[in-house]
Amino acid sequence: MRRRGFLAGAAALAALPRTARAETPTLLQEARALAAAPYAQASAPLPPPFAGLSYNAYRGIRPIPGRAAMLPHGARFAVDLLPPGLYFPDPVIIERDTGNGPVTTAFDPALFAFDPRYFNAVPRTAPGAGFSGLRLRHALNAPERMDEVLVMQGASYFRAIGQAMTYGLSARAVALGTGGAKPEEFPRFTRLRLHPPEGDRLRIEAVIDSASLAGHLDMVLHPGANTVCDVTVTILPRREIADIGIAPLTSMYLRGPLRASVSDDFRPRVHDSDVLMIRNGAGETLWRPIGNPARLQQSAFVDDGPSGFGLLQSARRFADYEDPEALYHARPNAIVRPKGDWGHGAVMLVEIPTGDEFMDNIVAFWRPDAPLSAGGEYRFAYELTFTLEVPETGPHPILQTRSGREHHRPGTRRYVIDYAGAAQDMRPEISATDARITGASLFALPEGRGTRLSFLLTPDGAESTELRAQLRGDDGTPVSPVWLHRWTRARDGGV
């Protein structure tokens, strides 16, 4: 997975024939040409002063305002061009169109200031080096200040924020082999093109390339209280691909109240996201708390025509995190809403063990049932929203999940799920595979804080169990999301 601190209206289509056109080649046509040719290996090693940088030295390279920073792009946007180095060795061609056609910005070390604590003499040229990506600015929180709103840097990663947010989880144009037995492949942006803005809307295109595929990203950015990206990704496989990830979201989870013992830390929570939410084609809302497992875990939520999924940060008070630097309480949710029918497949969740908060270890994405064929063309369109708001999940949304050992009952673990609203006229349904559920109770919390469902899990000899809980009204109607959780002996020991 990538290192944190920098730098995701058609359904999947059957294979489409590629047809040449007489007009000037578009970026989609460039991607088609790439896919039809053998893959060219990645870039040469970086030259000085960009080679072999430490984290702090890389941060000591700063775009100079007026040269590579705060470059006006229309009346309401500005662009920062980002230097190569550290985790970002591959050059990206950056084109800006302000109304007279796309213009490529030439890379030059003189566009950057180099902190003398880390750099002595800086060469005038750096053959083979190029920009690693870009940062967009917009008057997001105040009319007189151009705040960061979007970063595109590293492989095909991008991340955005809306008002009163700080950067957290990221999106990608495509994922490939995530969570599989073979090393993950990271397709990367090779070209970025900014189109002329239309008011507060900005269209961005990108060409994607890797050994297994080429592709095209077409995105319209709408900054605001919630920042929305209208995304269309076209994938052009060079080989048959069964392990594709569509609309991937990448986040971090170290610890939280579901399993606080994983890290001895003064902060009660350390995560960018703590819940995977899915709205499936059957009309259910699934609420799956994520975690930091002892070994890699992969979960598949099989579906037909999903209406949405996202990674959420459910707790929003500073006191939930007690971190005035990371500001985890202000990190956004990211919600994917497909356009068109994505057909049969599964929302995939990959949870990777981590011992610190500096590596992304959570990935969620859509995987179609059918492999993508070599030589085909597949298009997926969706809306991606970065927001502090949690989508509506019914009359009794889930507020939090906690668990811990029942020390006076060896081999047993207690779970509590808190819901908004009063407890009357509701009954819980709880199940577990290959394990026993006992002691279920539903009661009101003090001070009108909602309703708590409490129960005991006794796994006996099971190595793992899948838990499911939901509240229903007296007439059997669901009144809460479907809560899901996986218990594993490898993670929780005896309980």
Q: For 42-78, what is each residue's pLDDT tens digit?
A: 778 999 999 999 999 999 999 999 999 999 999 999 9
Q: What is the mean pLDDT of the chain?
A: 92
Average pLDDT of the segment spanning 194-222:
97
Tokens of 25: 């080649």
Q: What digits encode the pLDDT tens for the residues 319-349?
A: 999 999 999 999 999 999 999 999 999 999 9
Q: Which residues pair with 219 in a beta bridge?
A: 204, 231
The C-alpha atoms of residue 435 and residue 73 are separated, in whole angstroms, by: 59
Higher pLDDT, 495 or 85: 85
pLDDT at 244 (0 to 100): 98
Q: Is-contact 337 307, C-beta < 8 A?
A: yes
Break the chain into its structural domains and give their ranges. Answer: 27-387, 398-492
| Amino acid identity for residue 212 in this structure | S
pLDDT at 134 (0 to 100): 98
Higher pLDDT, 170 or 99: 170
Average pLDDT of the segment spanning 172-201:
95
pTM above 0.85, yes or no: yes
pLDDT at 440 (0 to 100): 95
Burial class (CB in 10 A: 0-12, 13-18, 19+), 494: exposed
pLDDT at 15 (0 to 100): 36
Higher pLDDT, 257 or 206: 206
pLDDT at 168 (0 to 100): 97
pLDDT at 493 (0 to 100): 54
Q: What digits encode the pLDDT tens for the residues 70-127?
A: 999 999 999 999 999 999 999 999 999 998 899 999 999 999 999 999 999 899 999 9
Confidence of residue 216 (pLDDT cuts 50, 70, 90): very high
What CATH number matches the domain at 27-387, 2.60.40.10, 2.70.98.10, 3.90.800.10, 2.30.110.10?
A: 2.70.98.10
Q: What digits encode the pLDDT tens for the residues 432-479?
A: 999 999 999 999 999 989 999 999 999 988 899 999 999 999 888 999
Average pLDDT of the segment spanning 209-218:
98
> Lowest-confidence range among 113-122, 180-189, 420-429?
420-429
pLDDT at 224 (0 to 100): 97
Residue 274: pLDDT over 50: yes
Fold of 398-492: Immunoglobulin-like (2.60.40)
Confidence of residue 13 (pLDDT cuts 50, 70, 90): very low
pLDDT at 181 (0 to 100): 86
Residue 22: pLDDT over 90: no
pLDDT at 495 (0 to 100): 67
pLDDT at 7 (0 to 100): 32
